[in-house]
Amino acid sequence: AYDFSDRIGRVEPSATLAISNLAAEKEAEGADIVDLSVGEPDFDTPSNIVEAGKDALDAGHTGYTSSNGIPQLTEAIAEKLRGTDIDADADEVIVTPGGKQALYETFQTLIDEGDEVVLLDPAWVSYEAMAKLAGGDLSRVDLAPHGFQLEPALDELAATVSDDTDLLVVNSPSNPTGAVFSEAALEGVRDLAVEHDIAVISDEIYERIIYDADHVSLASLDGMADRTITVNGFSKAYSMTGWRLGYIHAKGDFVGQAGKLHSHSVSCAVNFVQHAGVEALENTDESVEEMREAFADRRDLLVDLFDEHGIDVDVGDGAFYMMLPVDADDQAWCEAAIEEASVACVPGSAFNAPGYARISYAASAERLREAVDRLVANDLL
Ligand code: PLP
């Protein structure tokens, strides 16, 4: 009865959600699954944020807001962006229901049928889907042979982009690798973007989860202010995945154009959630730091555990993921991991990185040890 659009036929369901769903199904059947497939912090949302959300509900903040967001939040976001040297004003911000929606709106605003979008592999699963939904054609540069770093791959990037390239997506710290790109790498991106007049999405959602490196916002580099769409969100830094809150910042007419799609689709982000977002930005540094330290400890633990079994991982300086080389078909390996060892991870192929499994270390030290023990016991490591 349905004549589905060509557009929807171009994409597959999210591979990460598929694994999480399988893990949840097995758990519902009574299995004890160590779920290392999830893309969300395992902490509660900090209590002051929860209280701010409740207070906003009690105060009756339950109606529509202005489409681009409540002024207190767009102001707080602009202030936050200025903290990483982005020249930002509140009226250059759109508050969205999650970073995902911010990215979706950006692709829809910039990409026409046949436009070239360049991804750096391994790339987060949804970039490809969003580019295809907008009609874009993908070109890719593989960072896997370079320890997932961008700087050594700049020549390949230079050979890939051209005056025909419309959009490049940069995600540092990276999901799925945890890699944080060096300032020199970002300057390399800048030089190419300026030379070929390319717009760049800088997805900085893991910005606050960073270890022995400093975060550099791409839009802060000379020449990038007018060609960077900075996307960020509250899910990861503040453990607010289910609240659905994110944003776009870009200069010029971007917000005017993307705002049309925003107002005709979601209208606005949830009112009381936006109030909670103000609290997150203004009063949560301590909890963010505690979570960051916990992630750092878990990362180090996992590296040590793999090392004990002779496995060397190219561990990154941010986010809460690492790519485990599995020396096998990664789909089959991940299936065996969940079926035999009751450990859930995401096949690298989902990120265009066959031969790896993405491990999320948003899990307790005890569960991480348990996962490695089970994988070893089942000859998977
Ligand atoms: N960007 C990256 C790289 C992500 O990993 C995610 C979530 O997994 C998002 C964006 C979107 O997150 P949210 O929509 O929860 O803000």
Write out the two tokens for 336.
């065996």
Distance 147 CA to ligand 1 centre (A): 23
Each of the 381 residues of the chain gets a pLDDT tens digit; together they read 999 999 999 998 877 777 888 888 899 999 999 999 988 999 999 999 999 999 999 999 999 999 999 999 999 999 999 999 999 999 999 999 999 999 999 999 999 999 999 999 999 999 999 999 999 999 999 999 999 999 999 999 999 999 999 999 999 999 999 999 999 999 999 999 999 999 999 999 999 999 999 999 999 999 999 999 999 999 999 999 999 999 999 999 999 999 999 999 999 999 999 999 999 999 999 999 999 999 999 999 999 999 999 999 999 999 999 999 998 899 999 999 999 999 999 999 999 999 999 999 999 999 999 999 999 999 999
Q: Is the ipTM of this complex over 0.85?
A: yes
Neighbours of 136 (CB within 10 A): 23
Count of structural domains within the chain: 2
The verdict on 364 and 256 lying in the same domain is no
Kindly report, residue by residue over 62-71, the tens digit of the pLDDT: 999 999 999 9
φ, ψ of residue 247 in degrees (nearest 5):
-160, 165
**How many A from CA of 165 to the centre of ligand 1?**
24
Strand, coil or helix: what is 249?
strand
Regarding the beta carbon of 39 and ligand 1, being less than 6 Å apart is answered: yes
Range of the domain at 26: 6-45+286-377
CATH of the domain at 34: 3.90.1150.10
Give dist(CA 324, CA 345) in Å, integer. 10
Asked if residue 51 belongs to a domain, the reply is no
* pTM of the entire predicted model: 0.97
Q: Do residues 14 and 157 share a domain?
A: no
- Do 193 and 326 belong together in one domain? no
Q: What are phi and psi of 317, to 5 degrees?
A: -100, 15
CATH number for the domain spanning 260: value is 3.40.640.10
Closest CA to 177 of 153, 154, 149: 149
Are 162 and 195 members of one domain?
Answer: yes
Decide: 235 in ligand 1 pocket, CB within 6 A. Answer: yes
DSSP 91: G
Closest ligand 1 atom to residue 103 Cα is 10
Distance 240 CA to ligand 1 centre (A): 11
Nearest to 35 by CA among 319, 341, 310: 341
Whether residues 24 and 71 share a domain: the answer is: no
